[in-house]
Amino acid sequence: MSKKEKNNDTANEQVDEQTIHNTEETSEDSRTVEEQLTDSLAEEKDKFLRLFAEFENYKRRTAKERSELFKTASQEVIVALLPVLDDFDRAYTEIAKTKEKDLLKGVELIKNKFKNTLENKGLELMDLQAGDHFNADNHEAITQIPAPNDALKGKIIDVVEKGYKLGDKIIRFPKVVIGQ
């Protein structure tokens, strides 16, 4: 082989090595770019999913708040009308003691109509009777008296004022007397 051919072979080998080396670098660079893009895509997907979940929670929360607002929107008006309902009960009790049956019937009709209207708006009477267990979360004790017997200790002896609920929320706690 001549010197010229040896130089050409050496040059060709160097070019081949550089090509292989460049090809390896290129594949490493492209792999790195692919990995970077894959990582970037995964991060963006994660951000999207979190944002989507946050938005769904927001929608659910506002829908719940809106429905609660509609349920209790008339709460102030109903609370203001509760003393009127109590007055109807007291008037009915007093008129029942007289001989005026027509007047009693008229008051009863008005009272029932008023009570039914409030019940249609979501008002519920808290059913409470003497002898029931006293619960400080649901009842308001206005006084304690000595219990007539041991069975009534810590229990309700008398209901002074009725309690009412609007939906699941207590809007007026029943006022009770409890045994000591």
The predicted pLDDT at position 148 comes to 84
Query: Coil, strand or helix: which one is 173?
Result: coil
- 124-180 folds as Nucleotide Exchange Factor Grpe; Chain A, domain 2 (2.30.22)
Alpha-carbon span 67 to 168, nearest angstrom: 13
Confidence band of 2 (pLDDT split at 50, 70, 90): low
The predicted pLDDT at position 130 comes to 82
* pLDDT mean across residues, the chain: 84
The DSSP element (H or E) to which 12 belongs, if any, is: helix 3-72
Per-residue pLDDT of 3-49, as tens digits, reads 555 555 555 565 555 555 554 554 455 678 889 999 999 999 999 99
Q: Which residues have a Cβ under 8 Å from the Cβ of 75 and sit 6 or more positions away? A: 166, 169, 171
Per-residue pLDDT of 80-120, as tens digits, reads 999 999 999 999 999 989 888 899 999 999 999 999 999 99
Write phi, then psi, for 119 (nearest 5 degrees): -65, -35
Per-residue pLDDT of 49-61, as tens digits, reads 999 999 999 999 9
Write phi, then psi, for 165 (nearest 5 degrees): -120, 145
Length of the chain: 180
